Homo-oligomer: A and B are copies of this chain.
Amino acid sequence: MIPWGAASDRPPVIHPRHRSDAPGSLIVALFVQKFGGSSVADAESIKRVAKRIVDTRRAGHDVVVAVSAMGDTTDELLDLAGQVAPIPAPRELDMLLSSGERISMALLAMAIHSMGFEARSFTGSQAGMITDATHGAARIVDVTPVRLREALDEGAIVIVAGFQGFNRDTRDITTLGRGGSDTTAVALAAALKADVCEIYSDVDGIFTADPRVVPRAQKLTHVSSEEMLELAANGAKVLYIRAVEYARRHGVLIHARSTFSSGEGTWVLGPGMSLPAGTEGAEMEEPIVAGVATDLSQAKITVIGVPDVPGKAAEIFKIVAKSGANVDMIVQNVSAAATGRTDISFTLPKEDAALALRALAAEQGEVGFESLVHDDQIGKLSVVGAGMRTHSGVSATLFEALSVSGINIEMISTSEIRISVVVSGDELAEAARVVHTAYGLDGDAEAVVHAGTGR
C-alpha cells in the first residue's frame, strides 16, 4: 500500500523541498491525511490506518494526520448527554464530544509508535486550531501549528484531533460541527503548506454518479472544486462542502481516496491547479459533464391559488424564511389568465417541511392563497459540468433522455454549471441511469461498491 502508486517514482509537485534524510527519494512532500470514524472503528482498523500512514513516511515524506472519533463514539456520547440533561450546555457538550478524537488519535499514535516510528498526537488547542466561540459549529479563525512544525522538524509523524478547536477569549474547547474533521485536515494542509490533503473514506473517490444508484458509474480522475461544490450541494456525500470551500479559498489540493484500496482516488482541483505530473488522465480533455448527483432528502411544497399580483412571492418566502426552513428550488407557474391566480412550488429539506407548512397556514388569510400541497416523495437529479458554460444543448440532452423513458419533470432549476430537475422519488434511480448514459458517462464495467460504502 504505497500512496499514489509508487511515491518515489511519482513525486508530488506543489511545494517540493529537499531533505537529506529522506530514504529512497530526494524530494520530500508534506502529506496531510484525514481518516474518518469508519476507518478507525476498532483496533484492527486503527492498525490498518497506522500501516497506511507509516507507508507514506517510509516513502520519505512528512505526514500530518487528522482523525475522527472511532466509529459511533460521537453518537454514543451524544446519547449519554441526552440521558443526563435534556438540553446539554453547549460548552460542556463540546468538552464531552472532543474526548472522542483524543481516544482515536492517542490509539493511532500508539499503533504507529509500536511500528517503530515516532508519532505524537495533539488536541485541537495543542495544534493551534483557533476558532470563534460558537460551540457546536465553530468557524476556524486562525491556525498556528507551532507545535506541529516542531514535531515534524524532529522527524515525528503528527496526529491531530479532527473536529475540534479552541477559542482564545474564552479559553474553551470548541467543535466544528458536521464534516469538521475534513475541515480540520484542509485547514492544516493550508497552514502547513502541504503538498496534498488526502481525504480517506470507504469509497474509492468521486464518481460520475452514486454507484449504488448507477452501477455503471465511473470514478473521476479529477474534478474541479466548483464542480465538486455543486455535486456536494446536490447530494454527493464523499466530501463536505465546507472543506471543499476552504480548500478552494486557500489553494489546497485535495485527493479523495479509499482507506481500503491503494489505487488512486479523485483529485479535486482548485482554480489554476493542475494534476500531479504523471497522474493518469492528466492529459484527458475536460468532459462537458462531470457527474450526475441524486438527492432524496427534499420535499416539495406547492402554494395553490396565489393572487397573481406583485410582491406575493416575496411575502410567501419571507414567511418561509422566518420559519427557519431552508428553501432550495423555486418555480412559479404561468398565471391562469381566467382566475388571475397562480401556483408557486418550492423544495426544502424534508425535516423543514412541517415548520414551513405551519408558518404558511398561519398566514393563509393574509397572503390569500387557496391551499397548500405537500409532497415528500420527490427526487432531485442534478447534472453538473463546467463544460456547460461553453457548450450548448446540454439541457436538451437531459430533457430528451427523461422524456424518452417517460419520466415526468416536476420542476427545473439551473445554475451556470448545473441543471437540476425534480422527478417522482420512485423514478429517481431510473432517471439517473438514463441521464448517465445519455451523457456518455457509463463505464464498461460495473463499479465495485465497498461493504462500507455510504457509512
Are A110 and B81 closer than 8 Å at their CB atoms? Answer: yes
Which residue on chain B has the smallest CB distance to residue A147? B171
Checking B46, B86, B99 against A103 with a beta-carbon cut-off of 8 angstroms, the contacting residue is B99
Contacts of A113 in B (CB 8 A): 85, 88-89, 92
Given the contacts A92-B109, A106-B93, A120-B91, A85 and B114 also touching, CB distance less than 8 Å: yes
Tell me the bound Cα distance from A43 to B111 in angstroms. Answer: 32
Tell which of B46, B95, B106, B114 touches A105, judged by Cβ atoms closer than 8 Å.
B95
The answer for the CA separation of A105 and B119 in the assembled complex, in Å, is: 28
Measured CA separation A89–B88 after assembly (Å): 34
Measured in the bound complex, the distance between the Cα atoms of B47 and A254 in whole Å is: 45
Interface residues of A in 116-148 (CB under 8 A from B): 119-121, 126, 147
* A83 close to B (CB within 8 Å): yes
Interface size class for chain A? Answer: 35 or more
A102 within 8 A of B: yes
Closest to A45 in B: B84
> Closest chain B residue to A91 by CB distance?
B120
Given contacts A85-B110, A114-B86, contact A171 B126 (CB under 8 A): yes
Checking B50, B81, B102, B126 against A107 with a beta-carbon cut-off of 8 angstroms, the contacting residue is: B81
Interface: A77 (CB within 8 A): yes
Give the oligomeric copy count: 2
Q: Is the CB of A96 closer than 8 A to any CB of chain B?
A: yes
Q: Do A89 and B109 have beta carbons less than 8 Å apart?
A: yes
Once the chains are docked, how many angstroms separate the CA of A86 from the CA of B47?
12
- Cβ of A98 < 8 Å from any Cβ of B? yes
- A121 CB, nearest partner CB in chain B, Å: 6
Interface check A80, CB cutoff 8 A: yes
A87 interfacial contact with B, CB 8 Å: yes
Q: Is the CB of A89 within 8 A of B110?
A: yes
Q: Is A106 within 8 A of B114, CB to CB?
A: no
- Bound CA span A91–B107, Å: 11
Q: How far is the CB of A153 from chain B (nearest CB, A)?
A: 16
**Which of A100, A106, A119 has its CB near the most chain B CB atoms (within 10 A)?**
A106
Shortest CB-to-CB span from A126 to chain B, Å, is 7
Question: By the criterion CB–CB under 8 Å, are B111 and A107 in contact?
Answer: no
Q: Considering only CB atoms, which chain B residue lies closest to A97 in the complex?
A: B106
What residues on B are CB-neighbors of A114 within 8 Å? Answer: 84-89
Also in contact, A110 and B92, with CB within 8 A (given A83-B43, A126-B171): yes
- Minimal Cβ-Cβ distance residue in B for A107: B84
**Complex contacts, A85 vs chain B, CB 8 Å:** 110-111, 113-114
Q: How far is the CB of A168 from chain B (nearest CB, A)?
A: 14
A103 touches B96 (CB 8 A): yes
Instruction: Say yes or no: A102 contacts B95, CB within 8 Å.
Output: yes
Residues of B with C-beta under 8 A to A109? 89, 92, 95
Query: Complex Cα distance A147/B105, Å?
Result: 27
**Would you call A99 and B99 a contact (CB within 8 A)?**
yes
Cβ A92 vs Cβ B106 within 8 A: yes
CB closest residue in chain B, given A103: B99
Q: Which residues of B contact A105 (CB under 8 A)?
A: 95
Q: How far is the CA of A110 from the CA of B93 in the complex (A)?
A: 8
Contact bitstring A156-185, B, C-beta under 8 A = 1, else 0: 000000000000000100000000000000
Q: What is the CA–CA distance of A46 and B93 in the complex, to the nearest angstrom? A: 15
Q: Is the CB of B102 within 8 A of A98?
A: yes
Tell me whether B110 and A88 are in contact (CB under 8 A).
yes
List residues of chain B with CB within 8 A of the CB of A106. 81, 92-93, 95-96, 99
Give every chain B residue within 8 A of A171 (Cβ-Cβ).
Answer: 126, 147
30 contacts between A and B (CB under 8 A): A43-B80, A43-B83, A43-B84, A77-B103, A80-B103, A80-B107, A81-B106, A81-B107, A84-B110, A85-B111, A85-B113, A88-B110, A89-B113, A89-B114, A89-B119, A91-B120, A92-B106, A92-B109, A92-B121, A95-B105, A95-B106, A95-B121, A96-B102, A96-B106, A96-B107, A98-B102, A99-B99, A99-B100, A126-B171, A147-B171
**Nearest 9 pairs between A and B by C-beta?**
A43-B83, A96-B106, A85-B114, A85-B110, A95-B106, A99-B99, A99-B102, A84-B111, A89-B113
